Amino acid sequence: MALSNDSIPDWDALTALLGPIHEDVQLFARRIARSNAEGDDVFQEAVLRAAHKLGSLRDRSRFKAWVYSVVVSVHRTRCRRAFWRRLVSSEEADRPDAVGDDGSRWADERASASRASAALATLRAPQREAVVLFELHGYSIEEIAEIQDTSVSSVKSRLTRGRERLKRFYAELALEPEPITEVCRG
Amino acid sequence: MADPWTHDLNSLGDRSRIGLRTLDATRAAITDKRSTQENPMRLFKQRPALAALIVLAIVVMFAPVAYAIVDRLVLSVDVDKPAEEIESDLESQLEQAGIPATVKAEKHEDGVEISIESDDPSVGSNLDVVVPNLPDNAVAQQLRIEVSCTLTDAQEAKLTQALRSPAFRGALGGPDADMAAAVRKALADAGFHDVDVAVHPNSVAITVKSPPK
Protein backbone atom coordinates (compact mmCIF):
# COMPACT_ATOMS: atom_id res chain seq x y z
CA MET A 1 0.00 0.00 0.00
CA ALA A 2 1.47 3.33 -0.97
CA LEU A 3 1.54 6.04 1.64
CA SER A 4 0.34 9.36 0.44
CA ASN A 5 2.82 12.20 0.41
CA ASP A 6 0.12 14.83 0.31
CA SER A 7 -0.88 16.99 3.26
CA ILE A 8 -4.50 16.14 2.46
CA PRO A 9 -5.62 13.55 5.02
CA ASP A 10 -5.33 10.00 3.71
CA TRP A 11 -8.00 8.46 5.89
CA ASP A 12 -8.02 5.09 4.22
CA ALA A 13 -4.30 4.57 4.63
CA LEU A 14 -4.40 5.83 8.21
CA THR A 15 -7.39 3.64 9.08
CA ALA A 16 -5.65 0.55 7.77
CA LEU A 17 -2.52 1.24 9.81
CA LEU A 18 -4.29 2.46 12.95
CA GLY A 19 -6.93 -0.29 13.07
CA PRO A 20 -4.92 -2.95 14.93
CA ILE A 21 -3.63 -0.52 17.59
CA HIS A 22 -6.53 1.93 17.76
CA GLU A 23 -7.70 0.76 21.18
CA ASP A 24 -4.23 0.82 22.74
CA VAL A 25 -3.46 4.30 21.47
CA GLN A 26 -6.84 5.62 22.62
CA LEU A 27 -6.24 4.09 26.08
CA PHE A 28 -2.82 5.72 26.25
CA ALA A 29 -4.33 9.13 25.46
CA ARG A 30 -6.95 8.66 28.18
CA ARG A 31 -4.42 7.54 30.77
CA ILE A 32 -2.01 10.43 30.34
CA ALA A 33 -4.86 12.94 30.27
CA ARG A 34 -6.85 14.00 33.30
CA SER A 35 -10.07 12.36 32.28
CA ASN A 36 -11.46 9.99 29.67
CA ALA A 37 -13.11 12.95 27.95
CA GLU A 38 -9.88 14.95 27.78
CA GLY A 39 -8.04 11.85 26.60
CA ASP A 40 -10.55 11.40 23.81
CA ASP A 41 -9.91 15.00 22.76
CA VAL A 42 -6.16 14.37 22.74
CA PHE A 43 -6.65 11.17 20.76
CA GLN A 44 -8.93 12.82 18.25
CA GLU A 45 -6.53 15.68 17.70
CA ALA A 46 -3.66 13.22 17.37
CA VAL A 47 -5.50 11.14 14.79
CA LEU A 48 -6.28 14.26 12.79
CA ARG A 49 -2.66 15.36 12.92
CA ALA A 50 -1.49 11.88 11.99
CA ALA A 51 -3.81 11.85 8.98
CA HIS A 52 -2.28 15.09 7.74
CA LYS A 53 1.32 14.05 8.38
CA LEU A 54 1.13 10.45 7.24
CA GLY A 55 3.01 11.31 4.10
CA SER A 56 6.07 12.18 6.15
CA LEU A 57 6.32 8.63 7.54
CA ARG A 58 8.67 6.76 5.21
CA ASP A 59 9.01 3.52 7.11
CA ARG A 60 5.60 1.94 7.66
CA SER A 61 7.04 -0.48 10.22
CA ARG A 62 7.56 2.49 12.55
CA PHE A 63 3.91 3.51 12.44
CA LYS A 64 3.09 2.30 15.95
CA ALA A 65 5.88 4.26 17.66
CA TRP A 66 5.19 7.19 15.38
CA VAL A 67 1.49 7.49 16.19
CA TYR A 68 2.22 7.19 19.91
CA SER A 69 4.72 10.05 19.49
CA VAL A 70 1.99 12.12 17.82
CA VAL A 71 -0.23 11.55 20.86
CA VAL A 72 2.68 12.61 23.08
CA SER A 73 3.19 15.75 21.03
CA VAL A 74 -0.49 16.71 21.14
CA HIS A 75 -0.65 16.01 24.85
CA ARG A 76 2.37 18.19 25.61
CA THR A 77 1.05 21.02 23.47
CA ARG A 78 -2.21 20.94 25.37
CA CYS A 79 -0.36 20.81 28.71
CA ARG A 80 1.64 23.88 27.81
CA ARG A 81 -1.29 25.95 26.68
CA ALA A 82 -4.06 24.58 28.80
CA PHE A 83 -3.01 25.60 32.28
CA TRP A 84 -6.35 27.11 33.01
CA ARG A 85 -8.16 24.20 31.46
CA ARG A 86 -6.69 22.14 34.25
CA LEU A 87 -8.67 24.33 36.55
CA VAL A 88 -11.86 25.01 34.64
CA SER A 89 -12.71 22.37 32.12
CA SER A 90 -15.93 22.17 30.23
CA GLU A 91 -15.69 18.38 30.18
CA GLU A 92 -17.15 15.95 32.60
CA ALA A 93 -14.57 14.00 34.57
CA ASP A 94 -15.91 10.61 33.52
CA ARG A 95 -18.75 8.93 31.84
CA PRO A 96 -21.51 7.62 34.13
CA ASP A 97 -20.71 4.43 35.97
CA ALA A 98 -22.28 1.12 35.13
CA VAL A 99 -23.10 0.54 38.79
CA GLY A 100 -24.69 -2.85 38.55
CA ASP A 101 -25.42 -4.85 41.66
CA ASP A 102 -22.11 -4.17 43.37
CA GLY A 103 -22.34 -0.40 43.67
CA SER A 104 -19.75 -0.12 46.44
CA ARG A 105 -17.10 -1.91 44.41
CA TRP A 106 -17.62 0.47 41.52
CA ALA A 107 -17.40 3.44 43.89
CA ASP A 108 -14.13 2.11 45.32
CA GLU A 109 -12.70 1.56 41.87
CA ARG A 110 -13.72 5.02 40.77
CA ALA A 111 -12.08 6.57 43.84
CA SER A 112 -8.96 4.52 43.22
CA ALA A 113 -8.78 5.61 39.59
CA SER A 114 -9.36 9.26 40.54
CA ARG A 115 -6.52 9.03 43.00
CA ALA A 116 -4.24 7.62 40.32
CA SER A 117 -5.28 10.36 37.95
CA ALA A 118 -4.56 13.02 40.58
CA ALA A 119 -1.21 11.40 41.36
CA LEU A 120 -0.21 11.30 37.70
CA ALA A 121 -1.27 14.93 37.35
CA THR A 122 1.55 15.89 39.74
CA LEU A 123 4.09 14.52 37.27
CA ARG A 124 5.55 16.52 34.41
CA ALA A 125 4.17 15.42 31.05
CA PRO A 126 7.26 13.41 29.96
CA GLN A 127 7.37 11.60 33.31
CA ARG A 128 3.65 10.89 33.19
CA GLU A 129 3.89 9.47 29.68
CA ALA A 130 6.85 7.29 30.60
CA VAL A 131 5.17 5.94 33.73
CA VAL A 132 1.92 5.14 31.89
CA LEU A 133 3.73 3.49 28.99
CA PHE A 134 5.85 1.42 31.35
CA GLU A 135 3.37 0.55 34.11
CA LEU A 136 0.11 0.24 32.16
CA HIS A 137 1.12 -0.52 28.60
CA GLY A 138 4.13 -2.72 29.34
CA TYR A 139 6.50 -1.01 26.93
CA SER A 140 10.24 -1.49 27.39
CA ILE A 141 12.51 1.42 28.16
CA GLU A 142 13.93 1.23 24.65
CA GLU A 143 10.44 1.35 23.13
CA ILE A 144 9.51 4.30 25.32
CA ALA A 145 12.68 6.10 24.25
CA GLU A 146 11.61 5.70 20.62
CA ILE A 147 8.09 6.97 21.32
CA GLN A 148 9.31 9.95 23.32
CA ASP A 149 12.16 10.57 20.87
CA THR A 150 14.74 10.62 23.61
CA SER A 151 17.56 8.53 25.03
CA VAL A 152 17.25 5.40 27.15
CA SER A 153 18.95 7.20 30.02
CA SER A 154 16.37 10.00 29.83
CA VAL A 155 13.55 7.49 30.05
CA LYS A 156 15.16 5.86 33.06
CA SER A 157 15.50 9.26 34.68
CA ARG A 158 11.87 10.10 33.94
CA LEU A 159 10.68 6.83 35.43
CA THR A 160 12.80 7.32 38.53
CA ARG A 161 11.66 10.89 39.08
CA GLY A 162 8.10 10.01 38.22
CA ARG A 163 8.09 7.31 40.87
CA GLU A 164 9.64 9.69 43.40
CA ARG A 165 6.84 12.18 42.84
CA LEU A 166 4.23 9.45 43.10
CA LYS A 167 5.82 8.33 46.35
CA ARG A 168 5.61 11.89 47.71
CA PHE A 169 1.99 12.19 46.62
CA TYR A 170 0.97 9.01 48.40
CA ALA A 171 3.03 9.88 51.45
CA GLU A 172 1.15 13.19 51.74
CA LEU A 173 -2.14 11.37 51.30
CA ALA A 174 -1.24 9.06 54.13
CA LEU A 175 -0.58 12.07 56.37
CA GLU A 176 -3.91 13.77 55.62
CA PRO A 177 -6.70 12.88 58.03
CA GLU A 178 -9.57 10.90 56.60
CA PRO A 179 -12.72 12.97 56.14
CA ILE A 180 -15.27 12.36 58.83
CA THR A 181 -18.05 10.28 57.34
CA GLU A 182 -19.79 9.06 60.44
CA VAL A 183 -20.96 10.85 63.54
CA CYS A 184 -20.52 8.91 66.73
CA ARG A 185 -23.49 9.25 68.92
CA GLY A 186 -22.77 8.86 72.57
CA MET B 1 5.97 -5.45 47.94
CA ALA B 2 3.81 -3.47 45.51
CA ASP B 3 4.18 0.28 45.23
CA PRO B 4 1.37 2.26 46.91
CA TRP B 5 0.12 3.44 43.52
CA THR B 6 -0.02 0.06 41.79
CA HIS B 7 -3.61 -0.73 42.72
CA ASP B 8 -4.78 2.77 41.81
CA LEU B 9 -3.00 2.69 38.45
CA ASN B 10 -4.65 -0.63 37.68
CA SER B 11 -8.03 0.90 38.53
CA LEU B 12 -7.24 3.81 36.23
CA GLY B 13 -6.32 1.31 33.56
CA ASP B 14 -9.65 -0.45 33.92
CA ARG B 15 -11.75 2.70 34.04
CA SER B 16 -10.08 4.13 30.99
CA ARG B 17 -11.67 1.28 29.03
CA ILE B 18 -15.19 2.51 29.73
CA GLY B 19 -16.91 3.77 26.59
CA LEU B 20 -14.00 3.40 24.18
CA ARG B 21 -14.82 4.59 20.70
CA THR B 22 -14.50 2.44 17.64
CA LEU B 23 -12.19 3.62 14.89
CA ASP B 24 -15.18 4.41 12.69
CA ALA B 25 -16.69 6.55 15.44
CA THR B 26 -13.39 8.41 15.87
CA ARG B 27 -13.13 9.09 12.17
CA ALA B 28 -16.75 10.26 12.02
CA ALA B 29 -16.21 12.59 14.98
CA ILE B 30 -13.10 14.09 13.41
CA THR B 31 -14.57 14.66 9.98
CA ASP B 32 -17.71 16.15 11.53
CA LYS B 33 -15.65 18.50 13.74
CA ARG B 34 -13.53 19.61 10.83
CA SER B 35 -16.55 20.48 8.73
CA THR B 36 -17.98 22.71 11.45
CA GLN B 37 -14.64 24.34 12.16
CA GLU B 38 -14.31 25.49 8.57
CA ASN B 39 -16.95 28.14 9.09
CA PRO B 40 -17.16 29.20 12.72
CA MET B 41 -19.41 32.16 11.88
CA ARG B 42 -22.03 29.71 10.64
CA LEU B 43 -22.06 28.14 14.08
CA PHE B 44 -22.96 31.33 15.84
CA LYS B 45 -25.68 32.15 13.36
CA GLN B 46 -27.18 28.69 13.38
CA ARG B 47 -27.13 28.26 17.13
CA PRO B 48 -28.59 31.45 18.56
CA ALA B 49 -29.97 29.58 21.55
CA LEU B 50 -26.49 28.73 22.79
CA ALA B 51 -25.27 32.32 22.60
CA ALA B 52 -21.63 33.20 22.17
CA LEU B 53 -20.22 32.39 25.56
CA ILE B 54 -16.81 33.76 26.16
CA VAL B 55 -15.11 32.49 29.23
CA LEU B 56 -11.93 34.22 30.08
CA ALA B 57 -9.86 32.68 32.79
CA ILE B 58 -6.99 34.67 34.07
CA VAL B 59 -4.91 32.52 36.32
CA VAL B 60 -2.16 33.92 38.37
CA MET B 61 -0.33 31.65 40.75
CA PHE B 62 2.44 33.01 42.88
CA ALA B 63 3.80 32.99 46.39
CA PRO B 64 2.41 35.77 48.60
CA VAL B 65 3.81 39.04 47.26
CA ALA B 66 2.62 42.60 47.17
CA TYR B 67 0.55 43.58 44.14
CA ALA B 68 2.18 45.98 41.76
CA ILE B 69 -0.12 48.85 40.94
CA VAL B 70 -0.55 49.40 37.25
CA ASP B 71 -2.97 51.34 35.14
CA ARG B 72 -6.11 49.51 34.21
CA LEU B 73 -5.71 47.77 30.89
CA VAL B 74 -8.62 47.15 28.59
CA LEU B 75 -8.18 44.39 26.03
CA SER B 76 -10.34 44.26 22.96
CA VAL B 77 -11.38 40.90 21.55
CA ASP B 78 -13.09 40.35 18.21
CA VAL B 79 -14.74 36.94 18.43
CA ASP B 80 -15.44 36.86 14.69
CA LYS B 81 -11.78 36.43 13.95
CA PRO B 82 -10.08 33.02 13.77
CA ALA B 83 -8.61 31.74 17.01
CA GLU B 84 -5.04 32.36 15.88
CA GLU B 85 -5.79 36.00 15.14
CA ILE B 86 -7.50 36.44 18.49
CA GLU B 87 -4.37 35.07 20.16
CA SER B 88 -1.97 37.30 18.26
CA ASP B 89 -4.21 40.36 18.73
CA LEU B 90 -4.37 39.91 22.49
CA GLU B 91 -0.69 39.10 22.83
CA SER B 92 0.10 42.21 20.87
CA GLN B 93 -2.09 44.33 23.14
CA LEU B 94 -0.52 42.83 26.24
CA GLU B 95 2.98 43.25 24.89
CA GLN B 96 2.32 46.90 24.13
CA ALA B 97 1.18 47.31 27.72
CA GLY B 98 4.39 45.71 28.95
CA ILE B 99 2.69 42.61 30.33
CA PRO B 100 4.34 39.30 29.52
CA ALA B 101 1.63 36.71 28.97
CA THR B 102 0.69 33.73 26.87
CA VAL B 103 -2.68 33.82 25.18
CA LYS B 104 -4.54 30.81 23.87
CA ALA B 105 -7.93 30.95 22.14
CA GLU B 106 -10.09 28.01 21.21
CA LYS B 107 -13.36 28.09 19.39
CA HIS B 108 -15.94 25.55 20.42
CA GLU B 109 -19.48 24.74 19.53
CA ASP B 110 -20.84 27.11 22.08
CA GLY B 111 -18.31 29.86 22.18
CA VAL B 112 -14.77 30.99 22.47
CA GLU B 113 -12.49 30.18 25.35
CA ILE B 114 -9.63 32.53 25.93
CA SER B 115 -6.89 31.97 28.44
CA ILE B 116 -4.32 34.49 29.49
CA GLU B 117 -1.59 32.96 31.56
CA SER B 118 0.96 35.04 33.32
CA ASP B 119 3.09 34.89 36.42
CA ASP B 120 3.17 38.67 36.59
CA PRO B 121 1.36 39.48 39.85
CA SER B 122 0.06 42.74 38.44
CA VAL B 123 -2.01 40.99 35.79
CA GLY B 124 -4.72 39.56 37.94
CA SER B 125 -6.63 42.52 39.28
CA ASN B 126 -6.09 45.17 36.63
CA LEU B 127 -7.18 43.48 33.46
CA ASP B 128 -10.52 43.96 31.76
CA VAL B 129 -11.64 42.41 28.50
CA VAL B 130 -13.97 44.29 26.15
CA VAL B 131 -15.65 42.27 23.42
CA PRO B 132 -17.03 44.19 20.44
CA ASN B 133 -19.30 42.67 17.85
CA LEU B 134 -21.05 40.30 20.21
CA PRO B 135 -24.34 38.88 18.94
CA ASP B 136 -27.36 40.28 20.74
CA ASN B 137 -27.85 37.14 22.81
CA ALA B 138 -24.19 36.71 23.63
CA VAL B 139 -22.83 36.41 27.12
CA ALA B 140 -19.30 37.26 28.10
CA GLN B 141 -18.11 35.96 31.41
CA GLN B 142 -14.78 36.41 33.02
CA LEU B 143 -13.49 33.97 35.57
CA ARG B 144 -10.44 35.08 37.49
CA ILE B 145 -8.69 32.64 39.75
CA GLU B 146 -5.85 33.76 41.95
CA VAL B 147 -3.93 31.65 44.41
CA SER B 148 -2.22 33.84 46.96
CA CYS B 149 -0.74 31.08 49.07
CA THR B 150 1.70 28.30 48.52
CA LEU B 151 0.19 24.94 47.64
CA THR B 152 1.89 21.59 47.52
CA ASP B 153 1.56 19.53 44.37
CA ALA B 154 -1.13 17.41 46.00
CA GLN B 155 -3.03 20.51 47.15
CA GLU B 156 -2.81 22.04 43.71
CA ALA B 157 -4.17 18.82 42.27
CA LYS B 158 -6.99 19.00 44.81
CA LEU B 159 -7.81 22.57 43.80
CA THR B 160 -7.72 21.54 40.16
CA GLN B 161 -10.22 18.77 40.85
CA ALA B 162 -12.47 21.12 42.79
CA LEU B 163 -12.52 23.71 40.02
CA ARG B 164 -13.25 21.03 37.43
CA SER B 165 -16.05 19.49 39.45
CA PRO B 166 -19.68 19.56 38.33
CA ALA B 167 -20.54 21.28 41.62
CA PHE B 168 -18.24 24.20 40.85
CA ARG B 169 -19.36 24.53 37.23
CA GLY B 170 -22.96 24.34 38.42
CA ALA B 171 -22.30 27.10 40.93
CA LEU B 172 -20.97 29.33 38.13
CA GLY B 173 -24.07 28.74 36.09
CA GLY B 174 -26.51 29.76 38.82
CA PRO B 175 -28.16 33.14 39.40
CA ASP B 176 -25.84 35.97 40.40
CA ALA B 177 -27.53 36.46 43.76
CA ASP B 178 -26.66 32.94 44.84
CA MET B 179 -23.43 32.49 42.93
CA ALA B 180 -20.91 33.67 45.53
CA ALA B 181 -22.36 31.42 48.21
CA ALA B 182 -22.61 28.48 45.81
CA VAL B 183 -19.01 28.90 44.65
CA ARG B 184 -17.79 29.18 48.25
CA LYS B 185 -19.69 26.04 49.18
CA ALA B 186 -18.34 24.09 46.22
CA LEU B 187 -14.80 25.01 47.18
CA ALA B 188 -15.39 24.51 50.91
CA ASP B 189 -16.69 21.01 50.21
CA ALA B 190 -13.31 20.33 48.65
CA GLY B 191 -11.50 21.66 51.72
CA PHE B 192 -10.83 25.21 50.53
CA HIS B 193 -12.51 27.31 53.19
CA ASP B 194 -10.43 30.47 53.03
CA VAL B 195 -11.51 31.92 49.70
CA ASP B 196 -12.81 35.27 48.58
CA VAL B 197 -15.47 35.27 45.90
CA ALA B 198 -16.53 38.47 44.21
CA VAL B 199 -19.39 38.35 41.69
CA HIS B 200 -19.72 41.19 39.22
CA PRO B 201 -22.18 41.55 36.34
CA ASN B 202 -19.94 39.71 33.91
CA SER B 203 -17.15 38.30 35.97
CA VAL B 204 -16.38 36.19 38.97
CA ALA B 205 -13.14 36.65 40.87
CA ILE B 206 -11.94 33.91 43.19
CA THR B 207 -8.95 34.22 45.47
CA VAL B 208 -7.72 31.12 47.26
CA LYS B 209 -5.99 32.51 50.32
CA SER B 210 -5.05 29.42 52.30
CA PRO B 211 -4.28 25.78 51.60
CA PRO B 212 -7.10 23.28 52.11
CA LYS B 213 -7.89 21.93 55.53
Tens digits of residue pLDDT in B95-133:
776 666 777 777 665 566 666 665 555 454 445 555 555
Burial pattern B96-123, b for ≥16 Cβ within 10 A else e, equals: ebebebebbbebeebbbbbbbbbeebbb
The CA-to-CA distance between both ends of chain B, in Å, stands at: 32
Q: How far apart are CA B118 and CA B58, in angstroms?
A: 8
Nearest CA in chain B to A91: B164
> How large a percentage of chain B has pLDDT more than 70?
49
Q: How many CB atoms lie within 10 A of CB B23?
A: 16
Q: Which amino acid is at A2?
A: A
The answer to whether B8 contacts A113, with C-beta atoms less than 8 Å apart, is yes
Does the distance separating the beta carbons of A48 and B30 come in below 8 Å?
yes
Residue of B nearest to A11 (CA): B27
Closest CB to B26 among A36, A44, A166: A44
pLDDT band per the 50, 70, 90 thresholds, residue A146 = very high
Which chain A residues are within 8 Å of B27, Cβ to Cβ? 11, 15, 47
Give CA separation, B79 vs B83, B106, B112, B116, B118, in Å.
8, 10, 7, 15, 22
Specify the pTM. Answer: 0.52
Distance CA B103, CA B56 (A): 10
DSSP string of B134-198, one letter each residue = --TT-EEEEEEEEE-S---HHHHHHHHHHHHSHHHHHHHTS-HHHHHHHHHHHHHHTT--SEEEE
Percentage of residues of chain B with pLDDT beyond 90: 7
Q: Which residue has the higher pLDDT, A161 or B166?
A: A161
* Contacting B residues, span 55-94, partner chain A, CB-CB under 8 Å: 55, 57, 59
pLDDT of B71 > 50? The answer is: no
Residue A109 near chain B (CB below 8 Å): yes
Q: Are B7 and A120 an interchain contact pair (Cβ–Cβ within 8 Å)?
A: no
Determine the 3-state secondary structure of A34 from DSSP. coil
Bridge partners of B76?
A: B130
Q: Which residues of B are less than 8 Å from A47 in CB distance?
A: 26-27, 30
Task: Please judge whether A172 and B115 are an interchain contact, meaning their C-beta atoms are less than 8 angstroms apart.
Answer: no
- State yes or no: pLDDT of B12 exceeds 80: yes
Q: Using CA coordinates, name the residue in chain A closest to B34.
A: A48
Question: Which residue of chain B comes nearest to A105, CA vs CA?
Answer: B11
Report the complex ipTM: 0.78
- Crossing angle of helices A125-135/A63-81, nearest 10°? 140
Q: Which residue has the higher pLDDT, B40 or A63?
A: A63
Q: What is the mean pLDDT of residues B76-98?
A: 76
The confidence score (pLDDT) of residue A143 equals: 94
Q: Average pLDDT, whole number, for chain A?
A: 78
The pLDDT confidence band at residue A104, using thresholds 50, 70 and 90, is low
Mean pLDDT of A6-23: 82
Closest CA to B113 of B157, B58, B177: B58
Nearest chain B CA: its distance from A116 CA (Å): 5
Contact A135 B9 (CB under 8 A): yes
The residue among A84, A106, A110, A123 with the most chain B CBs within 10 A of its CB, best to mutate, is: A84
pLDDT band at residue B141 using 50, 70 and 90 as cut-offs: low
pLDDT band at A99 (very low <50, low <70, confident <90, very high): very low
